[in-house]
Amino acid sequence: MYFILAIILYVVGLGIASAIDPAYGLFAVGMIYYTWPISIFCIVVIWLILRALFRGRLKPPQSEGPDS
């Protein structure tokens, strides 16, 4: 789930870069073909950050056992 969210955030980031500076956005999107390892690295870094930020928040609460 976080990996898909990381890909979406990466694409949204490229879209924002295109909106701010269209020349840079076109350059960045065009260079993905040549710099795909960097794109994969960025997606993995975003994924790791998301995993670290939301670790344990989606798990069900742990029961502490009987109160004896």
More confident residue, 52 or 14: 52
Average pLDDT over residues 32-55: 85
Confidence of residue 3 (pLDDT cuts 50, 70, 90): confident
- 60 domain-assigned: no
- 36 domain-assigned: yes
Note if the pTM is more than 0.85.
Answer: no
Sign of CA dihedral 47, 49, 53, 56: positive
Confidence of residue 20 (pLDDT cuts 50, 70, 90): confident
Residue-range definition of the domain harbouring residue 9: 2-53
- 58 domain-assigned: no
Is residue 16 over pLDDT 70? yes
Average pLDDT over residues 9-17: 83
Burial of 6 (0-12, 13-18, 19+ CB in 10 A): buried
- 65 domain-assigned: no
- 39 domain-assigned: yes
Total domains present in the chain: 1
- 40 domain-assigned: yes
d(CA 48, CA 51): 5
- 68 domain-assigned: no
CB atoms within 10 A of CB 36: 10
